[in-house]
Amino acid sequence: MSDNRLDNLTLDEDSAEYTSAVKIDSIKFKNYKFFYGDFELPVNGKNLLVYGENGSGKSAICKALELLTQNSFVDFDKNLNIFAADKNAEVEFGFNNGKELIITSDLEEMPDHVDFINGLSIFKPMLDYKKLLKVHYAPEVNGDRINLYYMFRKLLNDYPVKVNDEKIKLSSIKDFNVYFKALDEILKGEFLSSINSFLKKYFNADIFIEKFEFKTEIDEKSSMAVPIINLSIDYKEYLIDKYHTFLNEARLSALAISIYMVAIKKLLDMLETDCLKMLVLDDLLISLDMSNRLKLPEILKNEFKDFQIFFFTHDKELFEIYKDKMDWEKYEIYLDDSRGIPMAILKQGRSELERAKMFYAQKEYDACALLLRKGFEKKLKSYLTTAEQRNKNCEELDLAGLIGRAISKSSGESENILQKLNSDRQHILNPLCHIHTKTIHSEELGSVDIW
């Protein structure tokens, strides 16, 4: 049952290796936002992949991680669960260096013993689809063109710059003309080429940023000077000013992801001391098609390999696809409102084979066989291309058809394994998945090569 020979059939890349930097080991909640009473999320210093159905507390976990980017907690009492009015809210982080951080309404600012967290307030590694939308959907419009000034001002608030040979934060510049010039130099000098390279490398994009346009205009209503940053996009050698009305959602999302991820990397590179490196992605890929969604693990492995990644989604299909793409703890969170007070049910996101082993140990052989069959089909689909998974009429092949296709493109030991599995499917897995009178012994089930 420990035979992993079938792994030779997969085309997935190996999981990335991560350094021994400080990582989050656990997150514990007590009466915090959605979480009534005590709730623990074991992370074990690994990346975290979470599927959460609507209203199950997924967003509350993201908000808790965002606390690590703050310096002050004066309004923390607002996070108290509404069903626990007489108790205090609490979030506790445990780190793999033995340190702990307990956040309550009594904590006013970040304590000194977790100084390795300080850098998070600089590069603010929180990214969701709402932030991405600011690149192409914003209330600040200049002549039907998106004004990105306010987005960049907030994003690069703590970017280090030199003014009169003094190193300060961008937001510390009080003279607007000096500030605007410094921001202009950052975007045009350090960001422009990096964003375009990111677009080309990971999205094979047929667009790139031609230029950032800086200007100020007088607002007719307020008579105040309004700072403006417009974006001009080159699409197949055509210059597009109103890109947000022309490009499709996939291109716009690729553009936004590239801008934000380059910014996070640039801000982190500017830090002079090491800090906890994490990246929190919450329902980031809503508008990306599946081909672009599959590129994100590659981005994370290449650009953020020494980060601890927290990925949250309400898309179960995406969760199932991503489970095997990286090395992470996997959880599913569901809503339980059967007791009057909404509660979270935490379920470990085990693979079909891991769950099959549990049922095998419990002698639940029919459930074991069903999961083995599902796991076998999933493994075959990772080996076959999308076109190979369909017949000449573009209809999806059943398991027998998938095995036939896989055998036809295999040789040597892989072909022998598949031939054996095809026999096991017919004589062991199929009977156990249906009503049958045939006696099948545990040794037979245990001999199936999918294990």
Q: Are residues 205 and 284 in the same domain?
A: no
Spell out the residues 6+ positions from residue 363 whose beta carbon is closer than 8 angstroms to its own: 442
> Would you say residue 225 lies in a domain?
yes
> Would you say residue 16 lies in a domain?
no
The residue from 288, 319, 348 where one domain ends is 348
> Would you say residue 15 lies in a domain?
no
Q: Write out the residue range of the structural domain in which residue 294 sits.
A: 24-117+280-348
> Would you say residue 301 lies in a domain?
yes
Q: Cα 27 to chain center, whole Å? A: 18
> What is residue 438's predicted lDDT score, i.e. its pLDDT?
56
Q: Are residues 364 and 332 in the same domain?
A: no
Q: Are residues 293 and 335 in the same domain?
A: yes
Residue (of 151, 157, 152, 148) closest to 122 by Cα position: 157
The residue from 323, 348, 373 where one domain ends is 348
Q: Are residues 308 and 413 in the same domain?
A: no
The 3-class secondary structure across 48-117, one letter per residue, is: EEEEECCCCCHHHHHHHHHHHHCCECCCHHHHECCCCCCCCCEEEEEECCCCEEEECCCCCECCHHHHHH
Q: Are residues 254 and 309 in the same domain?
A: no
Q: Are residues 389 and 417 in the same domain?
A: yes
Is 220:138 a contact under the CB 8 Å cutoff? Answer: no
- Per DSSP, the three-state class of 163 is strand
> What is residue 398's predicted lDDT score, i.e. its pLDDT?
85
Q: Are residues 366 and 404 in the same domain?
A: yes
The CATH number of residue 315's host domain is 3.40.50.300
> What is residue 35's predicted lDDT score, i.e. its pLDDT?
94
Output the CA angle 156-157-163, nearest 5 degrees: 95
> What is residue 143's predicted lDDT score, i.e. its pLDDT?
61
> Would you say residue 185 lies in a domain?
yes
**235 bridge partner residues:** 207, 238
Q: Are residues 245 and 148 in the same domain?
A: yes
Q: Are residues 228 and 309 in the same domain?
A: no
The tens-digit pLDDT sequence of the chain (451 residues) is 434 433 444 433 443 333 458 999 999 999 999 999 999 999 999 999 999 988 899 999 999 999 999 888 888 989 999 999 777 899 999 999 999 999 999 998 899 999 899 888 877 888 888 888 888 876 555 567 889 999 999 888 888 888 888 888 898 999 999 999 999 999 998 899 999 999 999 988 899 999 999 999 887 788 888 899 999 999 988 999 889 889 888 888 889 999 999 998 888 887 766 788 999 999 877 766 777 788 899 999 999 988 999 999 999 888 988 988 899 999 999 998 887 899 998 988 777 777 787 777 778 888 888 888 888 888 888 788 888 899 888 888 888 888 888 888 888 888 888 888 888 777 677 666 665 555 555 665 566 655 5
> Would you say residue 58 lies in a domain?
yes
> Would you say residue 181 lies in a domain?
yes
Q: Are residues 251 and 335 in the same domain?
A: no
Q: Are residues 323 and 368 in the same domain?
A: no
Is 255:136 a contact under the CB 8 Å cutoff? Answer: yes
Question: How many independent structural domains does the chain possess?
Answer: 3
The residue from 348, 363, 378 where one domain ends is 348
Q: Are residues 375 and 439 in the same domain?
A: yes
* pTM, two decimal places: 0.75
Is 39:89 a contact under the CB 8 Å cutoff? Answer: no
> Would you say residue 3 lies in a domain?
no
> What is residue 4's predicted lDDT score, i.e. its pLDDT?
43
